Structure 1
C-alpha cells in the first residue's frame, strides 16, 4: 500500500478547505495580509498538491490597505456546484464576508460579491439535494457575549441569483463542550439521511479540536457526537511534536472513501516558525459518526494511503520570466516596482521608502518557508544609491524578521545581517565588500541561521549561530508562518535598483 508523509502542504498553509470534482481535488488556505489571496491547489490523490492559481488575484477583489499582518483574509471555503466553483471567505480588514466564483479553478475568478447582514467569520456554503444553497457561519452570541469566545454557528438560506442571504437565520450549535470557546470553521455535509456539522472549537492554538454534530434537518436541532472531539492533540501534552490540530474539512472520493484536511503546527524546540500547515487523515464511519484515523486517534507523520499516489513537480529554484502563482507580496503591491521585462532573465526591484516594518507594501517578493533545514539564496546585482539596501528576508511579521542585505553607505557597500525582535533592530554581523555582483545565502539548521555572502570565489560569513526562535507564533503571535523572500528599500530620492536572477529555497538534511 502507498504511504504519505504529513504535512501534505508544508509551511504557511492554514485553514484548509477542500472539494472534489470527480477524481480531481481542489484546496484553498488563508493568506491574511499577503497578496494574491487564497492559493488554489490541485491534486489527484489528496497528498501531492500543486498550486495552480489564486482566487483573489486582482486588487479589485482584495483590498488590504493598512491591514495588520494577521488580519486581511481569514478562513476560506471552496465548493463546486453544477459547473461553478465558489470560494467564500472573510476580509476582516475591508468589507467582511464575500464570495467569488469561477468555472476554472485556476482562474480568472469573479469580482467579489459582498454579503449583507452576515456577521462573523469562517463562512461556508452547503448545497442541498433540493437545489437550495445555505450559508453557514459563526458569529458572536446575539444575546451578548458572556465570555471571551462566546460565539455560535448559524445558518441561513443563500440566493445564488442575488448572492445574498434570504429568509431567517438560525442558530445551529455552540460546540461540544459546555461554554466552548470559538466555535469556528463550520461545514455541513449530507450522508445517509443526516446532515453533519463539522466545526473547530477551543481556539486555533493548543486547545484546538474538531467536533461534530448531526441532525435530520438542515436547520437542526443538531445533536453532538458523544465521542467528541473526533480529533485533537491537546491531551497529548506540549512535548508532542504536533500541536494546534483543528479546522477540518471532509472530502469524499468517487469510490466512497472519506478523508479530512485540517491544520496543525509542527513544533521545533518548542516553537512553530512554519505556522499552521495542512495535514491529512483518513475518516471511516461507525454507527453513523465519523472516526478519524481509527485505532490511532491522532495525526500520523507517515500514514498508509488507499489512493494511488500521483506525484507533482515542486519548484525549489524560482526564476522570474513570469510572476508565478506561488509568489507572495505584502498587502496591495505596486507591481511597477517588480520589472521582469527590462532585463531578460532577471527581476529588477525598484526600492521605495516603505520597509518591512511598515503596514504597507514594501518591494518584497516571497515564498513560504517549508522546512527548518534549508538554504535560501539569491544572485543579485546592485545599482543602488546611498541609503538603499537589497537582499534576503525571513519574515514572520512587521515586528519580527531576519534579513541579510547589502547596504549602500556613502563610501562603501556593507553586507549586514540584521535581526528585528519586537521592532528592535540589531546588526549581528557585517562585512565590507567592493563588488556589486554577489550571491547571498541564509542557511537554516533548526532554530539557528547563518548568513553568507559570496563574491566571486570568496565566501564571507556575515553571521552564524543566529537564534531564530522568535520568528514563531509562540513569540510573535498572530496566525501566519514565515515567508522567505527578496527585498529592497531606500531613503534616497533617486534610489536606483537591484536586479535579482533567481531565488532558491532548497531543503537540506537535518
Structure 2
C-alpha cells in the first residue's frame, strides 16, 4: 500500500465528502446539516490544497431550514459532472426529501432544487456513459428498514438528467456485506474494468464505521460482496478513527484516490475530510492508511467582507450583519436555543488546540441585551462569553458559569481551546489577558456536526435598535516544541 497522505485535506466541520474530476480540476462537496449557506463547494488541482468556491445553496429560496432540529437538515450530498453540467443531489431531512441542483459553473449560481421521489438519505448519481456503459443515468439512496436494529437497504431508479426526475422501476441493490449488517449507507456506483462497483459505508458513523464493496455485471445487479469485506475496516484507535463514507476519483494519469471522512479523537472537531490512495487487487479496492499531518493556518479577519466560511444557524430571510468596518451584528429578539435564526455567525474549529479572540464594542441599552464570543456545537450545546448589563457573563445554555464586572468601553474576549478544555479570558484593548473560568466541555462531543467558533448578539426576546460591533476575529495556534504536543500560548 502507498504511504499516508498529509491529512485532513479539509479540517473542521467537513463531513460526508463527495468528489468528482473534470479535466485537471477536482470538485468536492460536504454535508452542512442545519447551517446556512448549504453544501459548501471546494476546488483543487492536486487533491491536497483546496479552495472554497462558495455553496450550492446560498439563497433562501433554495433552502428552507425553518425550525430545523440539531443534526438534521442537509445530509450527505453527491456531486457529479455530465455533458457540461454539474449535478448535485442531497436530502433535506424532515423536509421534502431528495433533490437535485445543477450548475454550469461549480462556483455558481446553482439552480433552484428539483425535488425527487423516494425515501431515505445519502443519495448518489451514476452516469453510465463510459465505453462499457449504456449512457443511462441512475439515482441511488439508502433507506431505513428497522431503525432500532440499524437495518437499511440501497435502492436505485433511473435518472433523466435533462428533465431532472426519476423514472422506471425501482431496484433493491444491497442490504449489507453480511447478515445482521448495520447502517449500510452512502452508496456510490462506478464502472471499473467493465463491471459495476458499488461502494457503501457500513457500521454507523462512529468507531465501527467501515467501507464495503460489491460488484455486478450489470448496473441493476445482482451485486455480490468482494472477498475480504470490509475493504476499509473499522479504525477504533489511533490518531484518526471512524473512517468511512468514501467516494472514489481517478486522476488524469490513471491513479485512484478516495475522499472520505474521519475523526481525530479527543476534541470537538468531529468529522473531517481525509484523502486515501486506492489500488486494486482482483477487483477489490485497497485503501492506503489515513494519517494526519495537518498544517496550521492562523486566521485574522477584519471583516472587509464576509467570507464564504462564515455560516448562520438555519436560513436567514434577510442579513442581520454588515461588514466593511468590522462586523456589526443587529441585536434581535431571537436567542440561541429557540430553534430560530439568532444573530450568530460562526466558522468551523479546525484544530483540537487553538486560541480564539475578538474585540467587542458594545453597550447594552436595555435589560437582556448581550453580545460576545460563541463556541457552538448546536443550539442545545454551546458556551457563550457575553457582555451584559452586569458585566461579562459566561453561560452554558441558561446556566451562568462565571461573571465579572468590566468597565465601559471596548473589551477583548478570548478562549483557549485544548481538546475539550476551554479557558475563557478577557482584556482591555491594551491590557493583559485575565482568565475568567475553565470549562471541561465534554458536552460539546459531536456526533454528526462539529464545534464552530463565532460571534453572537441578542436582545433576549425584545425588539432593539442596538447593534454589537466586532472589529476583528482571530484564530491562532499554540507553539509546539519538537516531539511535543503541548502548548505555549502565543497571545492569551
TM-score by length of 1: 0.89
Taking a change above 3 Å as real, the CA distance of residues 188 and 158 of structure 1, as seen in their structure-2 partners, is same
Aligned length: 473
Q: Secondary structure at the match of 1:59?
A: coil
Partner in structure 2 of residue 418 of structure 1: 395
Taking the aligned partners of 2:464 and 2:98, their CA distance within structure 1 comes to 42
Stretches of structure 1 that go unaligned for 5 or more consecutive residues are 304-310
Secondary structure at the aligned position of 1:433 is classed as coil
Instruction: Give the secondary structure class of the aligned counterpart of 2:444.
Output: coil
Using the size of structure 2 for normalisation, the TM-score is 0.92
CA shift digits 1:136-181 (9 cap, x unpaired): 111234xxx4962221111111112221111101011111121211
After the TM superposition, which residues 114-153 of structure 1 pair with which residues of structure 2 at under 5 Å, given as runs? 114-116=115-117, 118-129=118-129, 130-141=134-145, 145=146, 148-153=149-154
| Superposition CA RMSD, Å | 2.0
1:382–1:499: 8 Å Cα contact kept in structure 2?
yes
- CA displacement at 1:243 relative to structure 2: 2.3
Structure 1, 371-380 or 449-458: larger mean CA deviation: 449-458
Which residue matches 1:306?
Answer: none
More strand by share: 1
* In 2: Cα distance, 1:202 partner to 1:260 partner: 19
Stretches of structure 2 lacking an aligned partner (at least 5 in a row): 480-485, 487-492
Secondary structure of the corresponding residue to residue 153 of structure 2: strand
Q: Which residue of 1 aligns with 2:408?
A: 435
Distance 1:292 1:10 in 2: 20
Q: CA deviation at 1:3?
A: 7.5
Question: Which residue does the alignment assign to 2:376?
Answer: 395
1:74 is paired with a residue whose SS is: coil
SS at match of 1:158: strand
Distance 1:146 1:487, change over 3 A: closer
2:344–2:454 contact (8 Å) kept in structure 1: yes
Equivalent position SS for 1:73: coil
Q: Is the 8 A contact 1:431 1:460 kept in 2?
A: no
User: 3-state DSSP class of the match of 2:77?
Assistant: strand
1:300 equivalenced with 2:291 (yes/no) = yes
Secondary structure of the corresponding residue to residue 470 of structure 1: helix
- Give the aligned partner of residue 307 of structure 1: none
Q: How far off its partner does 1:352 sit? A: 1.3
Q: In the aligned structure 2, how far is the partner of 1:106 from the partner of 1:383? A: 40
Q: Which residue of the partner structure matches residue 276 of structure 1?
A: 271
Correspondence for 1:320 among 279, 292, 303: 303
1:81 match? 82
SS in structure 1 opposite 2:426? strand
Aligned equivalent of 1:369? 349
Structure 1 residues 505 and 137, CA gap change in structure 2 (3 angstroms)? same
1 CA distance for matches of 2:181 and 2:419?
35
Residue of 464, 476, 482 corresponding to 1:506: 476
User: What's the offset of the Cα at 1:365?
Assistant: 0.4
Contact 1:430 1:462 in 2 (8 A): no
Partner of residue 425 from structure 2, selected from 440, 449, 452: 452
Separation in 1, partners of 2:198, 2:281: 16
